[in-house]
Chains A and B, each alone.
Chain A
């Protein structure tokens, strides 16, 4: 199975900050990388698929980049509703696997 490692595991930031979360798979996955946002008590929500494609309805302040073994999720200007946990997930090979999550908290 492909192991997904996110960094950092937690992050404190302020409204208006630019934030970057990194995801590194244990082997190359081309651009088969997806990002989800999860708020407490809620289901995950797809933000980015195919490393850089923005899911319909997701604000443009979210962006994704990368390929191979190095990926990033960037939030250009944090809004109050963005404080949540973020997960990366590879869809290159079965079983699909997730990172351990990055908890984004208010500073």
Chain B
């Protein structure tokens, strides 16, 4: 079955960097777009970034554009989120999620499978 496992979260100081990983299994990872979605403590869901199945195109929310970089290594079935210049308002559980489109299709921008999430806390 589909499994997405995030790692790399932790407690960091403002202005520092962190890289999240999402290991995928149970499906043909290189055929699907992937997303990062976050949830601040006690708050709702916020889309962060997405990457096409082949890494050709990447899109970001305005709140992270220029600070975060999404990437993928299809040979390792792994999705990444490099987060630089972290701010207190980036504190959240970060989920990776697969795009609901068919394989090799343009992204559908909904999220059919999710990881369990990894907590990023930015605090001085």
Q: Is A98 in contact with chain B by the CB < 8 A criterion? A: yes
Task: Tell me the B24-73 residues at the A interface (CB within 8 Å).
Answer: 44-47, 59, 61-62
User: Does B110 interact with chain A (Cβ within 8 Å)?
Assistant: yes
B45 near A89 (CB under 8 angstroms)?
yes
Closest B residue to A98 using CB positions: B45
Q: Please provide the 4 A-B residue pairs with the shortest distance between their CB atoms, ordered closest to farther.
A: A43-B114, A91-B109, A34-B110, A98-B45
Is the pair A100, B44 in contact by a Cβ cutoff of 8 Å?
Answer: yes
Q: Does A16 contact B (CB under 8 A)?
A: no
Nearest opposing residue in chain B for A38, CB measure: B45
Query: Is A97 on the interface with B (CB-CB < 8 A)?
Result: yes
Looking at the assembled complex, report how far the CB atom of B31 sits from the nearest CB atom of chain A, in whole angstroms. 17
**Could you tell me how many residues of chain B have their Cβ less than 8 Å away from some Cβ of chain A?**
19
Q: Give chain A's interface residue range (CB within 8 Å of chain B).
A: 20 to 34
17 more A-B contacts (CB under 8 A) besides A43-B116, A49-B112, A98-B47? A36-B111, A44-B111, A44-B114, A46-B110, A46-B112, A46-B113, A49-B108, A87-B45, A89-B45, A89-B111, A91-B100, A91-B109, A95-B59, A97-B47, A98-B44, A98-B46, A101-B44
Tell me the complex Cα distance, A32–B111, Å.
12
A36 smallest CB distance to B (angstroms): 8
A49 touches B46 (CB 8 A): no
Contact B45 A94 (CB under 8 A): no
Which residues on the A side are within 8 Å of B62 (C-beta)?
95
